[in-house]
Structure formats: structure tokens, C-alpha cells
């Protein structure tokens, strides 16, 4: 039976979602309501209007004079992708957002410290791994410093992710008043393994980060990874998802829930938060459904980076996209921390190449990274998703995961430039000839156990 604390947390959590989605809140935070008369868009030819779902394409300055047909193609892709995801998930875009791309540890940890230091009211962190190393201690000290300033600091770490750590950082945080919880301490309940693999840093309900990076030295110096920094309504959504896991781990809802400041315009990017969350009815596979819907709706190209590329439904959707003429490019790690999943990567890379997709690996000899750990997909130069979700069955169906999807041509252009064009010198064509018959057999066998790998 639920105890009094659980009932209180559920009541506060439901009130948070009800308030966030109330008509009064939507009217306050979305000053350009779809109900208002449509206004001509400066991004479209004179006389044409684009007000569906209030999407603004945000064409990069360098592309402002592209042909009208190209603008209409972006509009068509944006509308089609988001309409499909609306129907597949029940999630919706928010429109008052600013988003930035962060590549690798130097950029990401500098921004993480900025976000932490900027907190005045609340600071919430959720991580799968929080290593007991130099980087871990630096972030822990930043968290404690904010607690001493009177900020409400909450840290949620995955129990399985902390198994190999000394526990000294958790002890340090707790001794200094930081409210710290472990998620899913039933490590040996194999029928109900549900880890939180999310990576969230949220300040004041207004500024936040998500992506592929945990807290540890390897993300600073060795692994290639990405994060997204956001301001605005999307952070409120991420904060709500943090509360879901926080209360599940036994944490209390805050007495005062951080809200967005009234009347502030953060930006014009349309964003959407999707999750894998087996504990939330109706959201169990939202991210997977969103990804497949976006792939099925793609008109021109799909570029993706994934360290673990084994889910058969995603692979099949990409194969079908390539067959209908969509340009599909997949970037896989040259080196992997999971040899079994690396073999499955190889197997699925071969499948895609047979239908005309272009598959690459990062050449570790030309980059100073050990492992490509980024999880990203961008479609048609307009829609991008970044988050914690690998394209394996466990991440798409069993873990707690979170992705931020952005409909913004300027952001998509930055992603394509920084992750595909700029790093082209380090990309090696996928070599299917090096994949031996015995490796193919093992990959086929292991693929049946994808859910538990």
C-alpha cells in the first residue's frame, strides 16, 4: 500500500503537470497562440503563411536567400515529422526555447559548471554514472557550494551505475546537505531491471542540459560525445521528468516548484521532450515511437551517430527509408567499450549498405578519442534529436531515458556541420570485408539477446 509520503509526492507531481499544461499557463508562456490570426512569415515568400503548430523554421543567415522551393521543403518536412510524432506519442512541441549544441567534454563540462553556478533557487542533477575521479569531485564540489548558498540541490544517481564507485562522493554530498538518492536499488531483480540512464542538469526550472555524457574523466579527455543546452519551456518538461524518477526513488517533491519567469522570451526553437519510461503509463516507448515516426516521414536525408545500433525496429525503418530514396548516413564508433554490441553494429551496418545507405566509422587513429558515445539523429535539415537514448532495445524499451528533439533549421545546420562535415577527415568507410563469417554468426546469435546486453 502507498504510504503517506508516496501519496503526497504523487499529489504534488500531478499538480505540477496539471499546472504546466493548464490553459492559463499555456496562454502565459506561449504569447503567439495558434488561435491568433496567422501572420506572414519572414521566412516564406510574400503572401504565404506558416503558422501550423507555431513552428518557426529559423533558417541560418547564410541560407536566407535560398530558393522558395527549398523553404517549402523545410516547411513540409517540419510539419510532416511533427504531425507524425504528435500522433505516435501524444507529446507536443513547446515553442519558447533556446537550444545550443555542445560537442565533447571541454565545451560540455564548462557549460555544466556555468549552469550549476547560475542556480539561485534549485539545482537538480540526474546521472547514470558519476565517477569518483577528478571530474566527479570537481562537479561534486560545485554542487556543495550551491547548497551552502541556500539552493535546493537534489542529486539522483543510478544504483547500478554506482556499483563500481567507492561511494565517497555520495558520502561527501550527503554530509554537506545535498539531497542524494539512488534509483532502483533492486540490482538483482533481473525481471525488473530498470536503470535511469538519463543525463540531466537543471537549474531554476529555466536552464538545463541533456545528452550522452555522464560525469567522469573519460568524457573530458577520451570519449567523443555531445550534449544540448536549453533554456525555456523544454527545461520545465525535463524538470517534470526528473520529478517522476526522483519520487520513484523515495525523494520528496520540493515545497516550491521552480517555474519560468513570466513574460520572458527565451527563443523561437520548437522543442519536444520524449522519454523511455516503463513506469509511466502511456510513455513507455515514447522516444522509440518518435524516432521511428520521424524516420518514416523523412523526405530527403537522415544522418545519425550511435554507439550501440542494434534495435531491429529502428534498423528496419532506416532500411525502408533508404529503399524509398532517402539518403541515410550512419556513423558508428571505430572502437567500442562493448565488443558484443560492436559485432551487432557491424551486422546492421552491412544490412544498411546493401540498400544503399552510407555507413562510416570514426577512425580512432585520426581522432584522440577512444569511443564515440554520442546519440544523435538529424533529418531533412530541420529536425534533430539529442539525448541519452542508444538505439538498442534496452534503451528504447526498458531503461529510463530522455531525449530533446529540436525543430530548427539553424540548429540542424550546426549539427550537420560540426558532426559530419567538420569531422569528415576522421571518417572511414565501413569495411564489411573485415567482418568474418564467424563474427557474423556470433552477431546473429547475440542479436536475439539485445534486450539484456
Measured CA distances, 164 to 131, 132, 137, 168, 198 (Å)? 9, 9, 16, 12, 18
| Domain boundary residue, one of 267, 289, 311 | 267
Residue 24 within a domain: no
Using CA atoms, how far apart are residues 227 and 379, in angstroms rounded to an integer?
A: 18
**CA dihedral sign, ordered 9, 15, 21, 24:** negative
- Work out the burial of residue 255: count CB atoms within 10 Å of its CB; fewer than 13 is exposed, 13-18 middle, 19 or more buried: exposed
Look at residue 435 in the predicted model and tell me its pLDDT: 52
User: Is 351 a domain residue?
Assistant: yes
Decide if 317 contacts 381 (C-beta within 8 A): no
Of 159, 161, 259, 150, residue with least CA distance to 206: 259
Residue 25 belongs to a domain: no
CA distance 427 to 414: 18
The answer to whether residues 446 and 333 belong to one domain is yes
- Residue 26 in domain: no
Q: How many other β-carbons are positioned within 10 Å of the β-carbon of residue 147?
A: 19
Question: Quick check: 181 and 67 in contact, CB under 8 A?
Answer: no
Does residue 124 fall inside a structural domain?
yes
The whole-angstrom separation of Cα 96 and Cα 77 is 21
Query: Same domain for 280 and 239?
Result: no
Q: How far apart are CA 427 and CA 118, in angstroms?
A: 38
Q: Is there a domain that residue 180 lies in?
A: yes
- Shared domain check, 137 and 214: yes
Query: Is residue 63 located within the same domain as residue 158?
Result: no
Q: Residues 72, 107: one domain?
A: no
Task: List C-alpha distances in Å: 12 to 124, 201, 244, 359, 425.
Answer: 17, 21, 11, 47, 51
Mean pLDDT per block of 10 residues along the chain (453 residues) reads 56 55 39 30 29 63 58 92 97 98 95 98 98 97 99 98 94 98 76 87 99 90 88 98 97 97 96 96 96 98 94 97 97 72 83 93 59 93 98 95 98 92 55 53 46 49
* 146 and 191 both lie in a single domain: yes
Domain boundary among 232, 267, 302: 267
Give the Cα separation of 444 and 446 in Å (integer).
Answer: 6
Is the same domain home to 287 and 174?
no
Same domain, 305 and 444: yes
Count of structural domains within the chain: 2
Contact 428, 361 (CB under 8 A): yes
Single out the residue in 249, 267, 285 at which a domain terminates.
Answer: 267
**Looking at the structure, do residues 349 and 447 belong to the same domain, yes or no?**
yes
Residue 27 forms part of a structural domain = no
Whether 255 and 286 share a structural domain = no
Q: Which three cell numbers stand for residue 14?
A: 500531478
Statement to judge: residues 70 and 144 lie in one domain: no
pTM of the predicted model, to two decimals?
Answer: 0.84
Domain containing 44 equals 37-94+272-452
- CATH code of 399's domain: 3.30.870.10
Q: How far apart are CA 101 and CA 306, in angstroms?
A: 17
Please count the residues of the chain. 453
Q: What pLDDT does residue 364 have?
A: 56
pLDDT at 334: 75
- Residue 292 belongs to some domain of the structure: yes
- The predicted pLDDT at position 333 comes to 84
In angstroms, what CA-CA distances link 319 with 254, 301, 305?
46, 13, 16
Task: Give yes or no: residues 299 and 385 share one domain.
Answer: yes
Amino acid at each position: 500500500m502507498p504510504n503517506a509520503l508516496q501519496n503526497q509526492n504523487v499529489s504534488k507531481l500531478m499538480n505540477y503537470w496539471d499546472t504546466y499544461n493548464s490553459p492559463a499557463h499555456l496562454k502565459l508562456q506561449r504569447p503567439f497562440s495558434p488561435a491568433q490570426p496567422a501572420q506572414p512569415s519572414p521566412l516564406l515568400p510574400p503572401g504565404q503563411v506558416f503558422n501550423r503548430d507555431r513552428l518557426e523554421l529559423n533558417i541560418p543567415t547564410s541560407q536566407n536567400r535560398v530558393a522558395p522551393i527549398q523553404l517549402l521543403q523545410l516547411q513540409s518536412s517540419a510539419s510532416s515529422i511533427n504531425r507524425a510524432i504528435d500522433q505516435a506519442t501524444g507529446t507536443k512541441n513547446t515553442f519558447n526555447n533556446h537550444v545550443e549544441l555542445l560537442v565533447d567534454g571541454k565545451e560540455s563540462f564548462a557549460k555544466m559548471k556555468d549552469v550549476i553556478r547560475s542556480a539561485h533557487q534549485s539545482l537538480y542533477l540526474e546521472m547514470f554514472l558519476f565517477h569518483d575521479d577528478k571530474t566527479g569531485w570537481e562537479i561534486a564540489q560545485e554542487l556543495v557550494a550551491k547548497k551552502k548558498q541556500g539552493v535546493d540541490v537534489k542529486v539522483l544517481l543510478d544504483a547500478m551505475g554506482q556499483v563500481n564507485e567507492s561511494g565517497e562522493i555520495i558520502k561527501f554530498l550527503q554530509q554537506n546537505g545535498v539531497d542524494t538518492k539512488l534509483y532502483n536499488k533492486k540490482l538483482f531483480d533481473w525481471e525488473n531491471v530498470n536503470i535511469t540512464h538519463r543525463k540531466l542538469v537543471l537549474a531554476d526550472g529555466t536552464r538545463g542540459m541533456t545528452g550522452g555524457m555522464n560525469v567522469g574523466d573519460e568524457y573530458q579527455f577520451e570519449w567523443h560525445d555531445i550534449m544540448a543546452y536549453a533554456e525555456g519551456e523544454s527545461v520545465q518538461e525535463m524538470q517534470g521528468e526528473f520529478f517522476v524518477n526522483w519520487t520513484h526513488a523515495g525523494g520528496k517533491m520540493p515545497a516550491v516548484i521552480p517555474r519560468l519567469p513570466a513574460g520572458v522570451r527565451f527563443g523561437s526553437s520548437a522543442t519536444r521532450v520524449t522519454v523511455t519510461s516503463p513506469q509511466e503509463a502511456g510513455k513507455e516507448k515514447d522516444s522509440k515511437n518518435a524516432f521511428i515516426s520521424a524516420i518514416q516521414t523523412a523526405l530527403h536525408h537522415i544522418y545519425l551517430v550511435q554507439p550501440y545500433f542494434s534495435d531491429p525496429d529502428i534498423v528496419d525503418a532506416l532500411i525502408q527509408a533508404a529503399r524509398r530514396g532517402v539518403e541515410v548516413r550512419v556513423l558508428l564508433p571505430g572502437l567500442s567499450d562493448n565488443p558484443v554490441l560492436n559485432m551487432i553494429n557491424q551486422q546492421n551496418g552491412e544490412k544498411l549498405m546493401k540498400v544503399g545507405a552510407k555507413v562510416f566509422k570514426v577512425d580512432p587513429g585520426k581522432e584522440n578519442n577512444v569511443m564515440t558515445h554520442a546519440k544523435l539523429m538529424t533529418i531533412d535539415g530541420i529536425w534533430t534529436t539529442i539525448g541519452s537514448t542508444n538505439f538498442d532495445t534496452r534503451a528504447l524499451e526498458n531503461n529510463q531515458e530522455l531525449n530533446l528533439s529540436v525543430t530548427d533549421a539553424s540548429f540542424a545546420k550546426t549539427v550537420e556541420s560540426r558532426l559530419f562535415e567538420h569531422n569528415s577527415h576522421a571518417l572511414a568507410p565501413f569495411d564489411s570485408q573485415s567482418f568474418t563469417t564467424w563474427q557474423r554468426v556470433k552477431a546473429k546469435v547475440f542479436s536475439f539477446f539485445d534486450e539484456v546486453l
